[in-house]
Amino acid sequence: MQNKVYTVAIIGVGARGGNAYGKLINKCPEKYKITHLCDMREDRLEIFGEMFSVPVENRYTDEGEFFKKKRADIILIATPDTEHIKHCLKAFELGYDVLCEKPLTDKAGECEALLEAQKKYGNKVLVCHVLRYAPAYLKVAEIIDSGAIGRLVAINWTEPVGYWHQAHSYVRGNWRNTEISAPMILAKSCHDLDLIQFYAKSRCKSVSSIGDLTFFKPENAPEGSADRCQNCKLKDSCPYSAYRIYIERWRDAGCPKTEWPYNVLATEPVTEDKIISAIESGPYGRCVFRCDNNVVDHQTVQMLFENGITATLHMNAFNLHGGRRVAMFGTYGEIFLDEKTITLSVFGKPTETIKVDVPTDEADYAHGGGDARLISGLYDMMEGNLSMETSLEASVESHLIGIKAEESRLSGGKTLLVH
Ligand SMILES: NC(=O)c1ccc[n+]([C@@H]2O[C@H](COP(=O)([O-])OP(=O)(O)OC[C@H]3O[C@@H](n4cnc5c(N)ncnc54)[C@H](O)[C@@H]3O)[C@@H](O)[C@H]2O)c1
């Protein structure tokens, strides 16, 4: 018997909707067919419309027109953070099954509205917490479930963002300001909160948080620096210089034609001339000390779960490499995860090192293979074969932790009940 091929409509065909998931979906013609696209940007509609063979009459610049009726079995919502709630509610009402980018919203009331709407219209929903599908994180879950470390008692989670990633996304880029995006703890760390809750296997009872925007502010601008990197005499020495982040690093990487973050500045195929033009005319050439950013560059969250597990999450910008370093402490052993390497120490036994490799065709799509497996998981969900690991309900639960953490941070670190 032949597989069912599900039709897919995508709203927001940018880095995630087009380059990441769009390309992955398009690689599986035996499972999916992309039939409709909606994006305010005509250039993107044209590039991805051609790439995914979507007829011109099925490409929409106007979301009102696109949402006049249900266009496909599945909708992928990959618009900016502030749009998700509106697009999700509309999609539920039209009867779509939904793959939605995170964060869903930064408001507790809107989380409730999403759950209610899903209940009313009966949609299948997966939220893009891609790390839940990444082999290394699943392996950690498997070890905990095996009982090897006894009862899990405490989690210590560090999220180094990486100095250039912070500058790119959270100082100069789309996630720099809560007015146009979401607080850092949701925009960046909602994956981490989701995983912590997944490992804790319990609802979070209370939360407190401290953190601040310390460095990327005008008072820290070095003497003699300028508003834009092209006019700055420190452009060859400052590590945050756009020329160093986008040209030097791009050359060091072998001048890739299709790689993030360079393809955010320049259309593919990326060239040096296109990057320079973007630096000299667009937002990514602004001095990091003189942007309209307000999101934190370091934050710590403390959590107490209803089953007694305690967890801390610490994110900060000031590190060479991004990724995650995770420690799980159990009554009979401990687990350390550093990207793809897991160290398991069962008390009284030799320490074991477990290397988790991701097939190269999956690794190409980042998040430790999570992007590719999420797209496979979407098919399983449609076929009714998945326990919906990143279901709306689970995602709302971790969003509520983030929402309360931000409330706590803004109130000076007060401990708050999550429910
Ligand atoms: N799951 C992850 O790990 C992960 C990683 C990065 C980003 N994200 C999230 O994915 C989402 C998209 O991020 P991105 O990097 O692709 O951004 P992007 O800016 O590259 O793409 C967003 C696209 O949406 C379009 N758009 C904006 N408003 C629209 C509207 N009302 N109707 C139609 N199109 C509209 C824009 O023109 C743009 O092409 C964000 O919410 C972001 O936080 C998730």
Residue pLDDT tens, the chain, 419 long? 678 999 999 999 999 999 999 999 999 999 999 999 999 999 999 999 999 999 999 999 999 999 999 999 999 999 999 999 999 999 999 999 999 999 999 999 999 999 999 999 999 999 999 999 888 999 999 999 999 999 999 999 999 999 999 999 999 999 999 999 999 999 999 999 999 999 999 999 999 999 999 999 999 999 999 999 999 999 999 999 999 999 999 999 999 998 999 999 998 899 999 999 999 999 999 999 999 999 999 999 999 999 999 999 999 999 999 989 999 999 999 999 998 899 999 999 999 999 888 776 655 557 778 898 899 999 999 999 876 678 999 999 999 999 999 999 999 999 999 99
Q: With a 6 A CB cut-off, is 59 part of the ligand 1 pocket?
A: no
On whether the CB atoms of residues 214 and 411 are closer than 8 A, the answer is: no
On whether the CB atoms of residues 264 and 173 are closer than 8 A, the answer is: yes
Rg (alpha carbons) of the chain, rounded to whole number: 22
Tens-digit pLDDT profile for residues 241-300: 999 999 999 999 999 998 999 999 998 899 999 999 999 999 999 999 999 999 999 999
The residue whose CB lies within 8 Å of the most ligand 1 atoms, and thus the one to mutate among 60, 85, 101, is 101
Q: What atom in ligand 1 is closest to the CA of residue 131?
A: 3
Q: What atom in ligand 1 is closest to the CA of residue 44?
A: 39
Distance CA 391, CA 217 (A): 38
Name the residue at shortest CA distance from atom 18 of ligand 1: 14
Q: Which two tokens stand for residue 144?
A: 């905990």
Q: With a 6 A CB cut-off, is 36 part of the ligand 1 pocket?
A: no
pLDDT value at residue 367: 79
Give the domain ranges of the chain.
Answer: 6-129, 131-216+293-366+390-417, 225-285
Q: With a 6 A CB cut-off, is 17 part of the ligand 1 pocket?
A: yes
pTM of whole model > 0.85?
Answer: yes
Q: With a 6 A CB cut-off, is 15 part of the ligand 1 pocket?
A: yes
The residue whose CB lies within 8 Å of the most ligand 1 atoms, and thus the one to mutate among 40, 41, 170, is 40
Q: With a 6 A CB cut-off, is 168 part of the ligand 1 pocket?
A: no
On whether the CB atoms of residues 324 and 134 are closer than 8 A, the answer is: no
pLDDT value at residue 363: 54
Q: With a 6 A CB cut-off, is 99 part of the ligand 1 pocket?
A: no
Q: With a 6 A CB cut-off, is 275 part of the ligand 1 pocket?
A: no
Amino acid code (one letter) for 86: K
Report how far ligand 1's centroid is from the alpha carbon of 44 (Å): 12
Q: Which two tokens stand for residue 197?
A: 């809750």
Q: With a 6 A CB cut-off, is 44 part of the ligand 1 pocket?
A: yes
Tens-digit pLDDT profile for residues 48-80: 999 999 999 999 999 999 999 999 999 999 999
Q: With a 6 A CB cut-off, is 63 part of the ligand 1 pocket?
A: yes
Nearest to 128 by CA among 54, 25, 245, 35: 25
Torsion over CA: 391, 392, 396, 399 (sign): positive
Could you tell me which CATH number the domain at 6-129 has? 3.40.50.720
Report how far ligand 1's centroid is from the alpha carbon of 68 (Å): 21
Report how far ligand 1's centroid is from the alpha carbon of 99 (Å): 13
pLDDT value at residue 8: 98
Q: With a 6 A CB cut-off, is 39 part of the ligand 1 pocket?
A: yes
- 341-346 and 310-316 beta bridge pairing: unpaired
Q: Which CATH architecture has domain 131-216+293-366+390-417?
A: 2-Layer Sandwich (3.30)
pLDDT value at residue 138: 92
pLDDT value at residue 388: 62
Q: With a 6 A CB cut-off, is 346 part of the ligand 1 pocket?
A: no
Q: Which three-class secondary structure string do you get for the chain?
A: CCCCCEEEEEECCCHHHHHHHHHHHHCCCCCEEEEEEECCCHHHHHHHHHHCCCCHHHEECCHHHHCCCCCCCEEEECCCHHHHHHHHHHHHHHCCEEEECCCCCCCHHHHHHHHHHHHHHCCCEEECCHHHHCHHHHHHHHHHHHCCCCCEEEEEEEEECCHHHHHHHHHCCCCCCCCCCCCHHHHCCHHHHHHHHHHHCCCEEEEEEEEECCCCCHHHCCCCCCCEHHHCCCCCCCCCCHHHHHHHHHHHCCCCCCCCCHHHHCCCCCCHHHHHHHHHHCHHHECCCCCCCCCCCEEEEEEEECCCCEEEEEEECCCCCCCCEEEEEECCEEEEEECCEEEEEECCCCCEEEECCCCHHHHCCCHHHHHHHHHHHHHHHHCCCCCCCCCHHHHHHHHHHHHHHHHHHHCCCCCEECC
